[in-house]
Structures are given as C-alpha cells and as structure tokens.
C-alpha cells in the first residue's frame, strides 16, 4: 500500500518524495555526507546501547537471512566474495594473510595494514 504525500494531489508517493529528497541532499552535501552521518549515528547508538546491541541485531539479521535463503546461501556468497578478493589481489594474497595470521596468534591483529604491505 502506497502512502501519498499531502498537497501533491496523489502525484507523489512518500517513497518517491524520500528518494527525491535524498538525491537533493546528495547533490548538496555529497555522498560522503551519508557515510559521515551514518558513522555518527552508529557511535551514538554504541554509546547509548553498547556493543551487545549490535551483536544482537547482527544475530537477528543473520537468522532472518538464513531462514529466508537457507544455510547454503552463506557458502554461495562466501565463494563469490573469495573469488572477488582473489581477482582483485591475486591468489598469493591468501598465502600472505595466512602467514600473518598464523604468526600473530594470540596477539592483536591489524590484518588490513599488514596484508597491504
């Protein structure tokens, strides 16, 4: 069921108005603006609700995806992601990060920085 924006004589749905408004904001402030306000909102939620909240909603989302698509879905998207990383960084990338991970067991890891070098 569509909701109509008052004063537009049924010509513009709420969804369409939101999309148009979002485009205007993106034109005015740039796409980075959305990233900044998203991070700011995420930090605010983290401060008010804590890490456990994000863990709980992540589990709910994962359960919903599993129930909707089946457990094999994760294997399929994992393979796609792995193939994408391999295409972007080459097969030696996995060997490099595997050695980094194995040599740093039990220590705080910054794999992104180490793997890039």
Dump pLDDT digits (tens) for 16-39: 999 999 899 999 999 889 899 999
pLDDT exceeds 90 at position 4: no
Q: Report which of residues 22 and 104 the model is more confident about.
A: 22
Task: Answer positive or negative: Cα dihedral of 72, 76, 81, 87.
Answer: positive
The per-residue pLDDT of the chain, averaged, comes to 85
* pTM reported for the whole predicted model: 0.49
Find all residues with CB under 8 Å of 26, minimum gap 6, and list them.
33, 34
pLDDT of residue 77: 94
How far apart (Å, rounded) are the C-alpha atoms in residues 9 and 14?
A: 12
Q: State yes or no: pLDDT of 110 exceeds 90.
A: no
């Amino acid at each position: 069921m569509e909701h109509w924006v008052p004063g537009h004589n049924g010509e513009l749905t709420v969804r369409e108005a939101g999309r148009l408004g979002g485009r205007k904001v993106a034109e005015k402030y740039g796409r980075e603006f959305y990233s900044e306000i998203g991070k700011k909102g995420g930090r605010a939620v983290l401060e008010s609700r804590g890490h456990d909240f994000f863990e709980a909603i992540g589990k709910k989302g994962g359960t919903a995806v599993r129930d909707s698509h089946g457990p094999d879905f994760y294997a399929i998207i994992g393979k796609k992601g792995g193939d994408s990383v391999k295409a972007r960084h080459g097969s030696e990338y996995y060997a490099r990060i595997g050695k980094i991970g194995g040599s740093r067991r039990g220590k705080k890891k910054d794999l992104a920085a180490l793997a890039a070098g």
